[in-house]
Structures are given as C-alpha cells and as structure tokens.
Structure 1
Amino acid sequence: MQSSKFIRTCSIWRALEVVGDTAVLLILEANWIGARRFDDLRERTGLLQSKLSDRLKRLVAAGVLEKVRYVDAPPRYEYRMTRKGLDLYWPALMMLRWERRWSQRSGGLRLKLRHRLCGQVFEPVPTCLTCGDEIDPRDVDWAEGPGVGWMAPLYSRRRQQRNSGEAESSLMVDVAQITGDRWAGLVLRSIFTGLRRFDEIHRDTAMATNILSERLSWLIGIGVIRQHELTGKRFEYRLTEKGLDYYPVLLMLLRWGDRYYVSPEGPPLILRHKSNAHALDPAVTCSCCGQPVEPHDVTFEILEAPAKTPENAA
C-alpha cells in the first residue's frame, strides 16, 4: 500500500508548484495587461518589494518570465513572457471566465476581449478540438497514465490571502484564492477524479487531517463543494455547479503541466471524452468563430465593472 506521507502526482500538481501562489498570479495578471518593469509591477500588484522580488526570481527560474535589459547605462530591466509563460494564457482565460460567472464582489475591473480573426468581442469557451463540443466535466473520464507517480508534499499549512488593496486592482480575486492554494487544488483534483470521501481524499493528498478538514470547510463555505449524506451517518463531498465550472481551470493547468513537466514514461493522466471515449483535446476557443484563441490574436480593453445589484448578481 502507498504510504500516506506521499501524494499522487499529476500535471495539475506540477503546474500548481509554479503558479499555485496568489502573489505569482497577481504578477502574471499584471504582466498580461502590460506591466513589465519592477516599479510598474509593484504599483499594479500592491505587493511588498521583497515579496515581488522573490516571486519574480521564482518565475524567471521556472522559465515563465525572462529578465531583459532595455537600457544599458544605467542598466534597467523588464520582465517578459517566455513561450512557456505565454502558454499559461488558456489557464488564465479559464480563470477569468470563472471569475466573471461566480465572483460576488462589487466593482473592480473587467476585460473586454476582441478576437482579431473574426473581429468580434468574445467569451472564452473550453472546447474539445476532437469533436468541437464545449467541455463538460460530466462527459470526461479520467484514468491513470504511464507517468503517474508519488512525491512528498512540502507546502505551507496556511492559505494565502490577498489584501483589500490587491483585490481592488485585480481582475481575478475569488478564483485566485482557489488557484493560489495548492492544497485546495489537490482536494478538487481528488473529487474530480471520483474520490469523494474524507478517507479517500486523505490517502490521495497525504494532507494532515486538520488541514484537510479546514480546506473542505472552506470550499464548502465558498460554495464550491457540498456534503452529501450517505447511509450510516457517513457522507461524501460533491461538487456544486460552481465547483464543476472550475474544471476548465484545472484542465488547462493539466494541459500546461503535460507540455512542460511530463515524465519520460508519458502523461500521468489520460482523458477520454463522451460515450465513444475519443481522446480529449482541450483548447480555449472564441465564442463567436469557434477558433482557438492565442495571445497575439486577442486585443483587450480594461473596463470598470458595475457594482452588482440583487437584479444582476445571479
């Protein structure tokens, strides 16, 4: 039997080792919308100088950003997305999609996206390129692939919170609280792969029981999962519609992790789509023309979001 001190690895977990941090997500968001220099990033993110410097070093070391000199004397630098960083565009769009659908905050910022290929303002859609249908997690089967393995978890017990100043200048607040917490991501991975009882999730994640209890309570509190009572005073954890709609974020992180961190043996997870079990080929497409969207094909406009009222908050 596998030791409870190890967790089952997959490309989602490997991706979250890089981006599963709220400060990192703030930096990437700011960089996407034009902040390249240190002072601009600090102003945009609201991060302390020491934390910003530390996270930038991590992103450069991970190959997501590159530090480029743009003035020789005195030397001045800016941070640019590498190809690896640009490939996080689809996870970012799925985070933006979830935030638009489920965030309860008032005001803030939002983006109007326009696709150059068709010229239309669009919404990003998670799509299977094999069949052309929008991806619903209820239509996807998961199986362990040849690259599945086990690793020791070495992460903080505490969830990372954004302060109010950061939230005001951010496009994605609520979704980043989930993506920025690697333990929460691991819990959701377990539930999406059919492990719904406390003991099953505990074995899969190797989390201390008190940490697991806290994450489950938190995910229930924000409406992502719910308790479902079974016989004999037992219960399991099931995804709500809000939780199911988070699936494309994990799916695009898995795709990114498969591209950059897959083992020589192959992918850790194999995905099959619908009743005929064809291979799932996930992409983010334009809601207007149906074509995959790439960073260089999208323009955006930053808008102030209207405050939510009882009539439009649903």
Structure 2
Amino acid sequence: MREPRFIRTCSIWRALEVVGDTSTLLILEASWIGARRFDDFRARTGLLNALLSDRLKRLVAAGIFRKVAYSETPPRFEYRLTEKGQDLYWTALMLRRWERRWAPREGKLDILLRHTTCGQIFEPTPTCLACGEEVTARDVDWTEGPGVGWMAARYSRRRQQRAAAAERAGETALMDEAAQITGDRWASLVLRSIFTGVRRFDEIRRDTAMASNILSERLSWLAGKGVIRAEAYSASPPRYEYRLTEKGLDYYPILLMLLQWGDRYYVAPEGPPLLLRHGADGHDLRPAVTCSCCHAPVRPQDVTFEIVEAAPARRDVAS
C-alpha cells in the first residue's frame, strides 16, 4: 500500500476539498443568478446529466444545498443554498471580480451588481474591517496559528479535467477562467505555496506533496495563463523561482475568502492554521467584501444584478 503524503494544514485546502472543482463552481454560479431546478442548472452550466447529478448530490451532502420538494408525483426538487452555502458569496464575488479584471471577456456575458442599501451599481472590494482599507497580497503577513500541522494530501483525478466544464458552459459562464484555476486544487495549492514565500520547484513539491510531473505541468499552465512567471536563479544547471505576476497577485482575495470560509466550517478544534496580520502596524486582519460606493459589507440579500454583454478585460498582465 502506498504511504500517505502530507501537506501543511490549510483551511484553503479544506475549502477546496468541497468546492474546488470547476463543475461545482459553475453550479454555484448558476445558483447565485437564480437556478433552482435540475433543468435550470443544466441549461446554465451545460453539464452532462450524470455529472450535474453527482455534483448536486455532493453539494447537498456537504450542507451547501438543501433539497426542497416542489412536486410529489413525479418527485421533483429544487436546490436552495443553506447558510453555509450563502457564506460562499464573498468568494463568488471575488471570483467574479478577478474574471472581470483579467480574463478575456469579448463575446461573453458579464453581470452588473447593484447594492440596494445605497442604490448604486458597485464593484465588490476586498476590505479589512479593522482599518477600512482595501486588502492586497502585499499588505498581509501571516504567522502560524494554533491549528497548524500536517494532513494527508488526497488528490482526485477529476481535478485534471479543469477546462472541460467551462468549455461546455460556453458563452454563458460568467467566471470560466477563474473557475478553471480555483477548480483545480493542484493549481490552487501551488498558488498558496507561492503566496507564502515557497517559490522553488523542490520546495513547492515538498510543500504540496505533489508528483514532479504534475507540478511541472501546473507551473507551465499557470505561467501560460499569465498568473506566475519563472525567474532564473541558477544558469548551470538551470534553476528557477516562480513569482506572481500582477494578475497572480490580484488572485489573492479569492484565496483569502476561501480561507475565511474554511476557517469557519472546517477549522481544527485547536483553532485556525494561519493568523493573518494587516498593514504596517500588523493588526489582526478582518476580511470582508464591501461595496465600492457606500463601503458597507455586502450581503447576498442586498444585491440585485443584471446580465449584460461583457466589456474587454484588462490587459496589463505584466509582472
């Protein structure tokens, strides 16, 4: 029997165990914009019936959806978000924010958000409630928390099909490139390592317990997406460090909101694995997603939306 491989304890990883799958993220996206019934999800996501049924069952088992009967003969159900599912809203907003800023959007759809509290069309902003400032990767430091440790790495082959679901969704997907990255747990774990200062191939491999060929492929794929860049630190033999581009740095709020959700629902009894500090004075980070207009934390019940044709995304993907 193969011995288990271990990675650093991480609430991001625990969150991705539940939602780190492209098909799952597209289902959640469809739910946020009104899908409730099986046929609604199928039309919105383009997923095959068997795959859609499997992911809905997983989401119900994870406590993110609850099934509500709307017909007894024949039995028919709606899938509605639980409180745990609603708490993924900030992650969804950060996925949508990153997609709008960085992914090719020509010929696709976009979503305009209106905050009913202030009545304005707004952009969701990652914010520290302790100081009121926008959160970026450059402003956050971390120390080990009481729940730090090691856990067995369990990888699923389904994660290798990262683009298939988004391709089936076609022009209807509002966050297809973001869903491809977040929906690939290996790629997300690589980014977690780089964000925490682990940059060299062998260091990342040890940190993620990932096979060398898979790690090499993920690094090449992320570089091709413009999220990381390779920087040589040895010419003979050639050796590289992997650093985040501006596009990659701007992915940080997605991981931050996943970490917060994972801390809430999957934290160890001892406490969170990481403690985050913010700003020059190192105060405790209190992450939230706020309205760019009135600066209040955004709640799903306070947001309406309109689906429109997308404007071109940003192109400044330089390091």
TM-score of the superposed pair, with normalisation by structure 1: 0.95
Alpha carbons 2:4, 2:153 under 8 Å: kept: no
Q: Which residue number corresponds to residue 77 of structure 1?
A: 77
1:187 aligns with 2:200: no
| Correspondent of 2:211 among 187, 194, 208 | 208
Partner of 2:20: 20
> Shift of residue 234 of structure 1?
3.0
Letter in 2 for 1:127: T
The 5-angstrom pairing of residues 47-66 of structure 1 reads 47-66=47-66
Quick one: distance in 2 between partners of 1:175 and 1:23?
Answer: 12
Residue 287 of structure 1 is aligned with which of 292, 295, 308?
292
User: SS of the residue aligned with 2:78?
Assistant: strand
Q: Letter of the 1:84 partner, please give it.
A: K
Distance in 1 between residues matched to 2:300 and 2:28, nearest whole Å: 14
- Paired with 1:40 and 1:5, the residues of 2 have a C-alpha distance of 40
2:14 matched to 1:9? no
| CA shift for structure 1 position 12 | 0.3
Give 1:247's aligned amino acid: Y
Q: Which residue of 2 aligns with 1:263?
A: 268
2:67 and 2:4 map into 1 onto residues whose CA distance is 40
Whole-Å separation in 1 of the counterparts to 2:161 and 2:231: 25
| Residues 4 and 203, structure 1, Cα contact 8 Å, conserved in 2 | no
In structure 2, what is the Cα distance between the partners aligned to 1:276 and 1:305?
A: 40
**Deviation of residue 159 (structure 1)?**
4.2
Aligned-pair distance for 1:313? Answer: 5.5
Q: Which runs of 4+ in 1 moved over 4 A?
A: none
Measured against aligned partners, the alpha-carbon deviations of 1:141-162 in whole angstroms (never above 9, x if no partner) come to 1222111222222213524213
Q: Does the CA contact (< 8 Å) of 1:224 and 1:240 recur in 2?
A: yes
How far apart, in 1, do the equivalents of 2:124 and 2:84 lie? Answer: 20
Distance in 2, Cα, partners of 1:54 & 1:48: 10
Alpha carbons of 1:214 and 1:4: their partners in 2 closer, same or farther (altered >3 Å)? farther
Determine if contact 1:284/1:292 at 8 Å carries over to the other structure.
Answer: yes
Deviation at 1:301, TM superposition (A): 0.8
Per-residue CA shift, 1:30-72, capped at 9, x if unaligned?
A: 1110110011111111111000000000000000000011223
Q: Is the 8 A contact 1:8 1:204 kept in 2?
A: yes
Which segment is superposed worse, 120-129 or 160-169? 160-169
Separation in 1 of the partners of 2:4 and 2:218? 18
Give 1:172's aligned residue. Answer: 175
Which deviations, in whole Å up to 9, do the C-alpha atoms of 1:111-148 show, x marking residues without a partner?
Answer: 11000111000000000000000001111112221112
Whichever residue aligns with residue 242 of structure 2, its letter is: Y
Question: What secondary structure sits across from 1:234 in the alignment?
Answer: strand
Tell me the secondary structure at the aligned position of residue 35 of structure 1.
Answer: coil
| Aligned equivalents of 1:258, 1:128: Cα separation in 2 | 17
- Report matched runs for 1:27-106 at 5 Å: 27-106=27-106
CA distance in 2 between counterparts of 1:54 and 1:150 reads: 30
**CA spacing shift, 1:298–1:135, aligned 2, 3 Å:** same
Distance in 1 between the 2:9 and 2:109 partners? 35
- Show structure 1 runs of 5+ residues with no match: none
Computed over aligned residues only, the root mean square deviation of the Cα atoms, in angstroms, reads: 1.6
% identity of equivalent residues? 70
Distance in 1, matches of 2:274 and 2:242, equals: 22
| TM-score, with length taken from structure 2 | 0.93
